[in-house]
Amino acid sequence: MIAERFPAVRGVEAIPFSIAPRRGAVSIIEMVVLASCIIAVIAALALSNRYAVDIMIRTFLWAGLALAWNIAGGYAGLISFGHAAFFGIGAYTSTILLLNFGVPPWFGMLAGAPIAACAGALLTQACARLRGPFFILSTLAAGEVIRIAALNWRSLTGGAEGLEIPPVPNLVDMVFRSQWPYVTIVVAYMLAMFALSAWIEQTRYGYYLFATRDDEDGASAIGINPSHTRTAAMALSAAMTAIGGTLFAQYFLYLDPTHVISPDISFQFALICAVGGLGTASGPVFGALIIVPLSELLRGLLSQSTSGLHLVIYGIVVIIVILYFPSGISGAIGRAVSRVSPAGGFAARVQARKYDAQA
């Protein structure tokens, strides 16, 4: 288990965290996102076996979760390795409400979201003066605190034995025999997260996030309260992650702190965003479409023959993407598009070069 964590940690450390350019060609990238998602669904349909559909469900769930992480990590620059805590809060809140009080997870997830939002706001306020690696390490520590608390609070969380949701198919309890209702739910979740991200990019609040991320002094000099902006971004991101946590619980029907609140999960959020393109709505989707099937397939194909080989290949792929596409796949596509289309990015770059020559 420990060995399995290494490639993810290494990858995250090596990420230069440069943000993919968002200008121009946004609609084209959005179309590519949509097309790749449709292809993924068709591929799973064509194969029509449980394993393929399972990978697809995981892919879309992780895409939505990475989009939620990206609100804090990409837009606000709050790289968090503690998001597994919010994920766990969402998963545990709805499950505990379901098992102890019979509250349907449809409502349970709406209870988990505000609790996670409060936890996120609290964490951001507590780490208000920390920047860069110090902030990242604090979030990691906070995540671990939540994990250990969940392990030891047996009466509530079942401790290390975990919680099991009875596998009785029931629409009200969000448990299904077929996989297709889950596909519908996770696709809807991902689309909602994508729409939320695309909307944030267009609004005043989104620009305030970018300003705070890029230069805090500059942001407060134009009337932006950096502390409020940051706290709101983390709270929103945490709430959305918690909703994803509930969906996770309802799909796997089993929760234990070691797997649900593990740093592994937090690293995975960051890694998907970094590979796909931080700070863009399309990046996390691309990242999930590559990372999740890749890691699942490699594990399925190689883990029995040569132990650990799948992790080596996985690590190599991650290194290649980070070395050759520093602003992620989304950034690479954006550049390719602006190279061929005369408007937008390309024209602006020529203009900029002309001015450089004059000055």
Partner 1 sequence: MYKLENMMLKLDAVGRQFGSLWAIRDVSFTVEAGEIVGIIGPNGAGKSTLFNLIAGAVVPTTGVIRFLDRTIDYGKPYRVARRGLARTFQIPKPFKQLSVRENVMLSALRRHHTPRQANSVAMATMEFIRIGELAEASVASLTVGQLKKLELARALAAEPRLLLLDEVMAGLTPPEIKEMMTVIASLPRRGITVVWVEHVMMAIMNVAERIVVIHQGRIIAQGKPADVSKDPAVVGAYLGEKYAYAAR
CA–CA gap between residue 81 and residue 73 (Å, rounded): 9
> How long, in residues, is the chain?
359
Site string for partner 1, 333-352 (x = CB under 8 A): -----------xx-xxx-xx
Between 226 and 287, CB nearer to partner 1: 226
- Tell whether residue 326 is a contact of partner 1 (CB under 8 A): no
d(CA 16, CA 91): 31
Q: Which of 21, 90, 263, 277 touches partner 1 (CB under 8 A)?
A: 21
Tell me the Ramachandran region of residue 52: left when phi exceeds 0, alpha when psi lies from -120 to 50, beta otherwise. alpha
284 binds partner 1 (CB under 8 A): no
CB atoms under 10 Å from CB of 191, counted, come to 17
Q: Which is nearer to partner 1, 74 or 108 (CB)?
A: 74
Question: Is residue 126 within the footprint of partner 1 (CB under 8 A)?
Answer: no
Spatial distance between the Cα atoms of 118 and 220, rounded to a whole number of angstroms: 24
224 binds partner 1 (CB under 8 A): yes
Of 172-180, 199-207, 232-240, 243-251, the window that binds partner 1 (rule: CB under 8 A) is: 199-207
**Least separation in angstroms between CB 96 and partner 1:** 40
Contact 161, 275 (CB under 8 A): no
Does residue 34 come out as left (phi exceeding 0), alpha (psi in the -120 to 50 range) or beta?
A: alpha
Report which of 189, 50, 78 is spatially closest to residue 142, judged by C-alpha positions.
78
Instruction: Give me the least distance between CB of 120 and partner 1, in Å please.
Output: 22
Taking CB under 8 A as the rule, does residue 36 contact partner 1? no
330's tokens: 């989304």
For partner 1, how many residues bind (rule: CB under 8 A)? 35
> Distance from CA of residue 303 to its chain's centroid?
26
Min CB(18)–partner 1 separation in Å: 8
| Interaction between residue 81 and partner 1 (CB under 8 A) | no
Note whether 161 binds partner 1 by CB under 8 A. no
Report in angstroms how near the CB of residue 357 gets to partner 1 at its nearest. 10
* Through-space distance between the first and last CA atoms of the chain, rounded to whole angstroms: 57
Sign of CA dihedral 93, 96, 99, 101: negative
Q: Which is nearer to partner 1, 7 or 73 (CB)?
A: 73
Q: Which two tokens stand for residue 212?
A: 């705070």
Please report whether residue 129 would count as binding partner 1 according to CB under 8 A: no
Footprint on residues 200-219 left by partner 1 (CB under 8 A): 202-204, 207-208, 210-211, 213-215, 217-219
Residue span binding partner 1 (CB under 8 A) among the ranges 34-42, 157-165, 177-185, 220-228: 220-228
**Binding residue for partner 1, selected from 23, 131, 154, 177, defined by CB under 8 A:** 23
Our CB check for partner 1 shows the closer of 184 and 225 to be: 225
Among the listed ranges 55-63, 119-127, 167-175, 222-230, the one in contact with partner 1 (CB under 8 A) is 222-230
324 binds partner 1 (CB under 8 A): no
Sign, CA dihedral 318-321-326-330, equals: negative
Nearest to 86 by CA among 212, 269, 291, 285: 269
**Dist. CA 295–CA 22, nearest whole Å:** 28
Residue 279 binds partner 1, judged by CB under 8 A? yes
Give, in order, the Cα–Cα distances in Å from 67 to each of 197, 239, 280. Answer: 7, 12, 9
Of 90, 268, 260, 264, residue with least CA distance to 159: 260
Does residue 128 touch partner 1 according to CB under 8 A?
no
Q: Which spans of this chain sit near partner 1 (rule: CB under 8 A)? A: 19, 21, 23, 202-204, 207-208, 210-211, 213-215, 217-226, 279, 344-345, 347-349, 351-353, 355-356, 359
